[in-house]
Structure 1
């Protein structure tokens, strides 16, 4: 009799076989299902994209470019035989060309379906004569510009529609973390309805686009036409407004895109809808970066904070007692780790609110209460400027300060006339000469600059400067902090102490 030989399976073996069979069945069932999320990675973006796409719009703007006139006819002496000859030719050239209409494309998203409010970038609609919003179903609606803010590149549009528009909600960009998944939806190259995915690559990027730079960086593909579109988190909430890309000359995406954080954009949008403009807090100071040398000269542990170079007389800072030379270390509950953090923190503070400001002064921390005022216009110089190096350099000598590689002279009428020093500069000594290889010269100090303070102590002679230098050396400091007034206004300069002195 023909048959197969079976080996009996012990009880333990039967249990093991049963587990194997169950496991195989589970694997088979899993093979019939979509891939599951692993380590937080979504199995698919399809459901979320389907839900969000209707709230993302394409924006088309139209601008009329006027015709340019031709070259001007040269001037000839009266009665010249060339005058009639050239007039007919140049009259033909002077006829203006036919004006043409230029169209550009961008993206936006609906934040209020009832009232038809749409968010986009300012640069998408700037200078446009007509703005058209195109919905996912290709419905074209004429849009009204409610307000725009060039400083954050945010704008708000409004459209009228018979039915409520699909809309999206703001997310909390402060909770977004590097490595989180995000998707971008927009209108790259006019293709419309394009979804790309990536992660948050970095936060708090400064790309020198404006005074309040704090961009989210993402590797989700963003190209021309994506500007103004939303960057979504995995809950389908807007955590950023796609604004800029780092791109080669060809203009394509290389995986470095930048989005304005939602918490910044949301405040701007709310102001634009309510007031038509953005209301920002104002402190009334001119600030500069705290370098390692400046920190050392002030006895401050590490380069941190924003150094107050000057205080506007009628501003909130002056009223509160903030002084030039103070280093602002904390604004309300925010640490000011670097200079550029301060303008943003102040701007976002509620107008009329009193905040605690921690400053470093005379080697210790002090708390100052400041009542924030409204910024009517951007401060004339938000940051300390660089000297232009075009000041006069006459052959003059004065009292030497060898440790700093410079010479000074009294701030008298002769010095004022020689260097053009304004009357509002009342105290200090005038730099009359410098060693070209000195640290002071390398830091941009020039003849004609006025040294008003050394280590936050007013000086009126070379002897007083030498005294401050000696005191700093005795305290183990490697540099002294000079308050210098020149062509670019007041600024602080940390100058290394030389060997001689």
Structure 2
């Protein structure tokens, strides 16, 4: 046998061996897969997998963080010594931290104003919303301040003055002097979706600028926190699982485009530190309140003029107030002279939509109305005796007068609300 013939025979043998191994492997794998193929009677079946399923779009947080952090500021709260002090870490018994909001407190031994006994006692966060120095923050950050010192992301310090506050929404506007400051643009918070990625930006625990990420875990939440500072609280929070701690109060909640979708305001925690959920005031409400404060010095609230069963009303209360089952928000009372009365809405109606957007809870309705102003016109859809109707309502600056006021429950949440 020649050398060439030997090479040819060896090549053919190798190819035959490889083919045999490949065929055997396919046969064995086929038998194995057939042997473990689940029966149609199994409760749990394997999910179908394709290469397309494995493609998960990446989320870029870097651009959002880079564009948003320069507009988020550190607010240092200065106070004169007081004989009576309050406990910033007190809890209200409901599991919601009573100072955060998110104020971070310290002993006040440094950062004193020269020639005075004013000391820094706490700090929070704020968001620049205009190039000429207007900053939105929480009311509870500034309400006890005798002076405010604002530090920007570039470490420059400015003294700030309070332009106006709104305890009903826990919002405030302060101002620093200057121009060409970086600022955030408002996004439409109605477009925020559950599961959407977000970033929380602020100055927690007296640290430098801190960015955390999470998702929107719920919308239109009412947690009963603003009622402690206002007789007419407005709550329709965005709930997230982005880590937020004392000091984040008044800071920014932004989308992946770096736009403002909320102002961080509260956390749900048995300890006072982050334990899973944080709450932000929606940007649509923030924009309306901040604009009013800058223009008028105070917020101009719009009212529909109805009393409604709350989302947390117990079955016993529903029976007490004769509230039937139904979709939408049940109208318990309509105020005399109110916008609702003038538009033909009556006690016993179910409000199901505002401007074509479905309304399922009273908190959702409060969120919609609170982002509007007196004089704004809205389309309200309601059901009466099973028939659907739509009417145009011109919102007013007062709720009107109720003939009778049902007894309000004073547990964690009121048994009913006004709007």
- Whether contact under 8 Å (1:230, 1:241) holds in the other structure is yes
Structure 1 residues 381 and 158, CA, compared in 2 at 3 Å: closer, same or farther? farther
Is residue 2:284 matched to residue 1:266? no
Secondary structure of the corresponding residue to residue 235 of structure 1? coil
Q: What pairs with 1:142-157 in structure 2 (closer than 5 Å)?
A: 142-157=159-174
Counterpart of 1:177 in structure 2 is: 193
Q: Map residues 99-118 of structure 1 onto 2, 5 A cutoff.
A: 101=119, 103-113=121-131, 115-118=132-135
Distance in 2 (CA, whole Å) between partners of 1:346 and 1:221 is: 29
How many residue pairs get aligned? The number is: 325
Report the CA distance shift for 1:387/1:219 in structure 2 as closer, same or farther (over 3 A): closer
Residues 1:240 and 2:262 aligned together = yes
Separation in structure 2 between the aligned mates of residue 282 and residue 227 of structure 1, nearest angstrom? 28
Residue of structure 1 equivalent to 2:397:
374
Report the RMSD for the aligned CA atoms in angstroms.
Answer: 3.8
Contact kept in structure 1, 2:336 and 2:401, CA below 8 Å: no
Residue 330 of structure 2 is aligned to residue 307 of structure 1: yes
Q: Does 1:348 align with 2:348?
A: no
Paired position in structure 2 for 1:204: 220
Match among 207, 217, 225 for residue 247 of structure 2: 225
Rg larger for = 1
Against the structure 1 CA distance between its residues 227 and 387, is the aligned structure 2 distance closer, same or farther, given a 3 Å change threshold? closer
- Does residue 1:335 correspond to 2:358, yes or no? yes
Structure 2 gap segments, 5+ residues each: 1-6, 16-53, 85-116, 227-232
Higher relative contact order (CA 8 A, sep 6+): 2
- In the aligned structure 2, how far is the partner of 1:381 from the partner of 1:59? 45
Q: CA deviation at 1:366?
A: 3.7
Q: Residue in 2 aligned with 1:136?
A: 153
The two structures have a TM-score, normalised by structure 1, of: 0.57
Contact 1:286 1:383 in 2 (8 A): no
Contact 1:189-1:224 within 8 A present in 2 as well: yes
Change (3 A) 1:236 1:382: farther
How far has the Cα of 1:116 moved from its partner?
0.7
Runs of 4+ more than 6 Å apart: 5-10, 290-295, 297-300, 377-383
Equivalent residue number for residue 120 of structure 1: 137
Structure 2 CA distance for aligned equivalents of residues 371 and 59 of structure 1: 39
TM-score by length of 2: 0.67
TM-fit CA distance, 1:134: 0.7
Residues 63, 129 of structure 1: 8 Å contact kept: yes
- 1:374 aligns to what SS in structure 2? coil
The separation in 1 between residues aligned to 2:367 and 2:404, in whole angstroms, is 12
Distance of aligned partners of 1:223 and 1:382 in 2 relative to their CA distance in 1, 3 Å threshold: farther
Runs of 5+ consecutive residues of structure 1 not aligned to the other structure: 11-36, 69-98, 389-487, 492-501
Q: Could you tell me how far 1:245 is from its partner in structure 2?
A: 0.9
Q: Deviations over 1:191-231 (max 9, x none)?
A: 12112122222222222234432222222211000111111
Structure 1 residues 7, 187: closer, same or farther in 2, change over 3 A? farther
> Is the CA contact (8 Å cut-off) linking 1:65 and 1:102 kept in structure 2?
no
User: Residue 312 of structure 1: CA displacement?
Assistant: 2.5
